[in-house]
Amino acid sequence: MSERVVLAYSGGLDTSVAIPYIAEETGAEIIAVAVDVGQGGEDLEVIRRRALDCGAAEAVVADAKEEFAADFCVPALQANAMYMDRYPLVSALSRPLIVKHLAAAAAEFGGTAVAHGCTGKGNDQVRFEAGLAALNPELKVIAPARDYAWTRDKAIAFAEEKGLPIDVTSKSPYSIDQNLWGRAVETGFLEDIWNGPIEDLYDYTDDPAVSRESDELVLSFTAGVPTAIDGRALTPYQIIAELNRRAGAQGVGRLDMVEDRLVGIKSREVYEAPGAIALITAHLEMESVTVERDLARFKRQVDQRWGELVYDGLWFSPLKRSLDAFIASSQEQVSGDVRMTLHGGRAVVTGRRSDASLYDYDLATYDTGDAFDQSLAKGFVELWSLPSKIAAERDRKLG
């Protein structure tokens, strides 16, 4: 049997051309693997058929939307993951799931190599290859766009020469990647960072400046996992999808930023993540009610490092696994309800309640019934200030 190469297949021009091209270059059979992570677009069966028509020996399609939501989006939510305090890891979250399915297909079909369509300038090459190195370090990697200087012009000419069943004329002015957690847009006129985004490039969100009625909802959490909207029990996938619609209709989740890429360059990115931003906003509020102060302070450091690891393609790393264990422990009491208003591009929390709440009304109130013993405060403040006081006296003495 000839060698087999497992290809991360999207159904578009570049990966469709990669099937016959890699076959010619290597003499291998191509196993195309397409993974649905909630990106929308064409039917999976249409994509599978196209891969076979382009010459794939086998074509595998995986409906991984529920898996993506539960096993990748929820951990990111529990970590409040926002790279550079802004980006909710849209593309970075889907890559390790795709890698997992590529490695599984290689094991099933006897693949000796994995191919992807990433260029040498982006983060995704690292995410694919670092993930594969962790799951199956014996697999070789083929990256035509990077390793063979494969340009779009060459891809179009090759597709026409081979008569591939793929549209080679239509091309968005942008590079777009999207999934259930959000949508990323780059290149084109956006590469001039003085140019503002135009309304045409958005798809997940409506213009937040347009006047409309606000939308109020209640999000329920159980141990840090979103479990219901307005009392309706739903899966994480259903909750994210509904919030994408409802928060997106209010223009929530638009981001325009210059981002520090792993490869060392800065890149201008426009993101839409209505469901992700609404959920992270609500989850942070639920944590503020249920997580003890010192744990919350330390968790903010862990959250930042967790987001950096995932952005950098280290989903399967030992440090990431250890941070996962810490975060899971921190979520044990993060249960309750958050009321939120979606309007004018913002998700605003207006109420919170929890049986695990650490907020004690009798201690917090300034009215009659205050249970806080203020007589204890004077001695506490004196002891708390004592190290600073002693240091100040020392400094005055020594001049």
Active-site residues, by number, are 14, 95, 124, 175
| Residue 173 and residue 188 in contact, taking contact as beta carbons nearer than 8 Å | yes
CA–centroid distance for 139 within its chain: 26
The helix (H) or strand (E) run that includes residue 237 is helix 236-249
Q: In what order do the strands lie in the sheet with 4-8?
A: 58-63, 29-36, 4-8, 113-115, 140-142
Cα(131)–Cα(147) distance, rounded to whole angstroms? 19
Query: What does the block give as tokens for 89?
Result: 């890891």
Backbone dihedral region of 184: left (phi > 0), alpha (psi from -120 to 50 degrees) or beta?
beta
Which DSSP letter does residue 78 get?
H
Cα(74)–Cα(55) distance, rounded to whole angstroms? 37
- Tell which residue, 276, 119, 102, 108, has the closest CA to residue 186: 119
CA–centroid distance for 198 within its chain: 23
Give the chain's radius of gyration (CA, Å).
25
Token pair 């696994």 in the structure block, residue: 321
Its sign, for the CA torsion 50, 117, 309, 304, is negative
Token pair 């009610």 in the structure block, residue: 289
Query: What does the block give as tokens for 172?
Result: 């968005």
